[in-house]
Amino acid sequence: MTVRVLVAALTVFAFGLQAQEKAPQLDSIRKDDMRADLFFLAGDSMKGRVTNSPTNLIAAEFIQSRFERVGLKPSGPEGSYFQHYNLIEPVIGEENSLEVQNGDGARIKLRMLHKSFYPEYFSVSGHAQGSLVFAGFGMTVPDLNYDDYRHANLSGKIVLVLDHEPGEKDPSSPFDGLVLSDSSQPLRKALFAQAHGAAGILFARDVHNHPGPENFGEVARSNWPAFSLASWIGKVRIPAAAISSSLASILIRDTHKTLEELSKSAETATGIEPIAVPGIQVSLTTNVVRRTILDRNVIGFVEGSDPKLRDEYVIVCAHYDHEGAIGTQIYNGADDDGSGVVGLIEIAQAYGLAARAGQRPRRTVMFAAWNSEERGLLGSWAYTEHPLLPLDKLVAVLNMDMIGRNEEIQVGADERFRGMEVQSAESNSNALNIIGTLRSPDLKQETERANKVIGLDLKFRYDNNISNLLRRSDHWPFIQHGVPAIWIFTGLHPDYHTVYDRPAKINYGKMEKVVRCVYQESWDLATEDTHPKLLPRKPEAQAVPSPNSR
């Protein structure tokens, strides 16, 4: 062995030893502390911590007090730990109507909501009238060279688009595989249509992917009420409504194609050119009242010690809201996500203790308790829209959501567990799911390295799954903004989103191990020279084939 090879080998060996060293104050993370906090945060008196409730505000104040006590620096002006943003709670107004006239002058006028149409929650209050154009899935995705509006001038037109996205059931779809991409969301589609000059937009079910009877009334009820970020809704300037499949079939009759045939024709790799629907004139009136609600995240940080790296940062996070209460039935949300919040507090305390002992990470570490995750990840989306520190300086996001139980999927499990295999809690007694590493193999390696100190059974199994777990927690907005991010998650269980998700059912010993693992990984990320990368989507390798190529 040459001297150069020997030096290289010793360097690798030394790095390996360093990777196994415990983060300072790791043993300060204790299950008894988390248990005490969780019995308060998820107790009956907190009434489920739902957005825009008194107990949600109390939860934020509780987290703020703990951040201050452990020595985190406040994130906002004048010593505030709160990042404020506005939500919109839309309410359906009284005047909503849809009128259709065909080439023979026959008219259909609809006023009864939830039967054949309803306004979308993000719609403006307004009126639009024009000829009808079918635009497939109605998506514009430049990084995938996909555009359903290519070469189109839709000025004064009403656009009819399909729900969801092409290749929805194709694991190799460039739109995040089996996971519905952010571009497929209806509000985004309204903005795509608006950017191409459309006067209004109608949404219909993609019947070729979702055949069978349609309970349109149930769909309408499930979409209302809905919260959204004020910054998003403020961008929408056109009326938007959903219509039933039967009404959509009537509207497109003169194309001489069925709705299923038109839907199938939209399954292309690059999008379609919009198709004018002969003779159809649509008049759409929407009335949606927008109520503004002040919402807030709780954020503090430990400043990095390295002059060259302290401007970079790592986020450790969880969400503190849950589903509230219905009468005496309280959705305590102990696991979802009281467990993540008390874990976040323990990690913050470990950093505070280490700092007082003269040990600080080289990079800054931010601790974020997001609000309104249950309303659509709105707190974390709000941060990515208006970050307190630049996103291009954000190294990685470690999101803890439901870290206190064993995954358990029972035979005959309902829609909450779609796409997940039957498994017992016992089989997952030491298991920890890590979601998001398909786009960041570097973070997978970081997690595995941190876990060598802890010894959990890591599972990397839900990144490309019809359960849509990849997009169901607060790491998702960061991935959409190009930041490596993972969800640390012990798994779903029968008590998920029920009144039985209570503090007494948490596995505190396992949760202690999980939180220690997250702390170890965050310390590693905040102290090492390099940082993980996020892989781009690759349309050339995963293109959805066109119908003619099958």
pLDDT at position 225 is: 80
DSSP of 176-203:
TTTSPPGGGSHHHHHHHHHHTT-SEEEE
Q: Residue 420: name the closest of 309, 494, 366, 363 by CA.
A: 494
Domain spans of the chain, in order of start: 46-88+291-407+426-527, 94-286
94-286 architecture in CATH? 3-Layer(bba) Sandwich (3.50)
Q: What is the pLDDT of residue 217?
A: 87
pLDDT 10s per residue in the chain (550 long)? Answer: 443 433 333 343 344 434 468 999 999 999 999 999 999 999 999 999 999 999 999 999 999 999 999 999 999 888 999 999 999 999 999 889 999 998 777 888 887 677 899 999 999 999 999 999 999 999 999 999 999 998 888 999 999 999 999 999 999 999 999 999 999 999 999 999 999 999 999 999 999 999 998 999 888 888 888 999 999 999 999 999 999 999 999 999 999 999 999 999 999 999 999 999 999 999 999 999 999 999 999 999 999 999 999 999 999 999 999 999 999 999 999 999 999 999 999 999 999 999 999 999 999 999 999 999 999 999 999 999 999 999 999 999 999 999 999 999 999 999 999 999 999 999 999 999 999 999 999 999 999 999 999 999 999 999 999 999 999 999 999 999 999 999 999 999 999 999 999 999 999 999 999 999 999 999 999 999 989 999 998 644 333 333 333 2
Q: Please tell us whether the domain made up of 46-88+291-407+426-527 is placed in CATH 2.60.40.10.
A: no
Q: State residue 63's pLDDT score.
A: 98
pLDDT in tens, 55-101: 999 999 999 999 999 999 999 888 999 999 999 999 999 889 999 99
Q: Is the dihedral of CA 53, 59, 60, 61 positive or negative?
A: positive
Distance separating alpha carbons of residues 475 and 484, to the nearest angstrom: 9
The label of the residue with tokens 């043993």 reads 27
Summarised one tens digit per residue, pLDDT across range 358-386 is: 999 999 999 999 999 999 999 999 999 99
pLDDT confidence of residue 76: 83
Report pTM.
0.93
Distance CA 401, CA 332 (A): 15
CA-based nearest residue to 413, from 337, 339, 491: 491
Instruction: List own/partner pairs for 385-388 with CB under 8 A and 24 or more apart.
Output: 385/85, 385/229, 385/231, 386/83, 386/85, 386/231, 388/75, 388/76, 388/83, 388/299
Asked if 49 and 321 touch (Cβ cutoff 8 Å), the reply is: yes
